[in-house]
């Protein structure tokens, strides 16, 4: 008989000393989230981190850590980021170097989230059910490249009065992958949307935040 075990978990990345020294408040926890699927004893894992991006060396560290902690090979692991623009930098941006301390906290949180998700999958039993649906969210985001009256293509930060139209379409689809156990108990979910993760509840200049994707995920958990 085929078995399907599923578990989900998160782990927080605490702010490092340099980030705390900026005086910016933490609007909501910055986290790594993991979603583990074990089908007939073959494990797969998806990890998403509340950072702008992850460089290859960090992904390799996460992969090695997950393999050691969970036995999940790199070929069965997907590591990504929520692309929040409101977290300490995990890669060099313009003249700002990578925040090495926070980058290592991100690696540790990703591995810990995977470990906890694997443990949850083992505890949840082998008769999980995987569900999929696709909705739409067309009121958030859009194509960021606009054609101007001068025939140029511009990005954000320019005079909106000279912008004619977007240069292409924007994908509003919002796919959701969710899981429940044999009793119907909710086990976890993964969702995605093709929009830059820029947006906070407070003044973006004064807070660290997972951005609206992370904020939405945490609100869904509370509900």
Q: What is the model's pLDDT at position 144? A: 86
Beta-ladder partners of 177: 132, 190
Interatomic CA distance for residues 50 and 29, integer angstroms: 9
- Give the rounded distance of the alpha carbon of 11 from its chain centre: 12
Q: What is the model's pLDDT at position 126? A: 86
Exposure b/e, 174-183, CB count within 10 A at least 16 = b: beebbbbbee
Which of helix, strand or coil describes residue 221?
helix
In the chain, where are the structural domains located?
Answer: 4-129+195-222
DSSP alpha helix (H) spans, the chain? 17-20, 56-70, 100-124, 211-222
Q: What is the model's pLDDT at position 1? A: 65
Which CATH number, 3.40.50, 1.10.12, 3.30.70, 3.30.365, labels domain 4-129+195-222? 3.30.365
Q: What is the model's pLDDT at position 161? A: 86
pTM of the model: 0.92
Provide block-wise average pLDDT over 10 residues at a time, the chain (223 residues).
92 95 95 98 97 97 98 97 96 90 98 98 92 93 88 81 90 96 95 91 94 95 91
Interatomic CA distance for residues 53 and 84, integer angstroms: 8
Q: What is the model's pLDDT at position 195? A: 87
Interatomic CA distance for residues 174 and 164, integer angstroms: 27
Q: What is the model's pLDDT at position 47? A: 99
Interatomic CA distance for residues 143 and 52, integer angstroms: 19
């Amino acid at each position: 008989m085929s078995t399907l075990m599923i578990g989900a978990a998160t782990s927080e990345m605490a702010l490092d000393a340099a980030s705390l020294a900026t005086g910016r408040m933490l609007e909501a926890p910055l986290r790594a989230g993991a979603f583990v699927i074990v089908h007939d004893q073959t494990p797969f894992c998806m990890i998403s981190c509340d950072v702008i991006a992850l460089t290859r060396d960090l992904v390799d560290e996460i992969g090695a850590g997950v393999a050691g902690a969970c036995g999940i090979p790199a070929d069965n692991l997907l590591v990504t980021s929520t692309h929040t623009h409101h977290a300490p930098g995990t890669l060099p941006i313009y003249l700002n170097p990578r925040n090495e301390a926070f980058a290592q906290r991100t690696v540790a949180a990703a591995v810990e989230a995977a470990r906890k998700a694997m443990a949850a999958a083992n505890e949840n039993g082998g008769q999980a059910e995987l569900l999929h649906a696709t909705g739409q969210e067309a009121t958030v985001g859009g194509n960021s490249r606009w054609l101007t009256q001068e025939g140029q293509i511009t990005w954000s930060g320019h005079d909106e009065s000279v912008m004619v139209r977007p240069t292409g379409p924007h994908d509003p689809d919002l796919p959701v992958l969710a899981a429940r156990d044999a009793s119907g108990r909710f086990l976890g979910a993964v969702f995605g949307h093709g929009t830059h993760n820029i947006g906070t509840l407070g003044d973006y200049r004064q807070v660290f935040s997972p951005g609206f994707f992370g904020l939405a995920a945490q609100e869904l958990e509370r509900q």
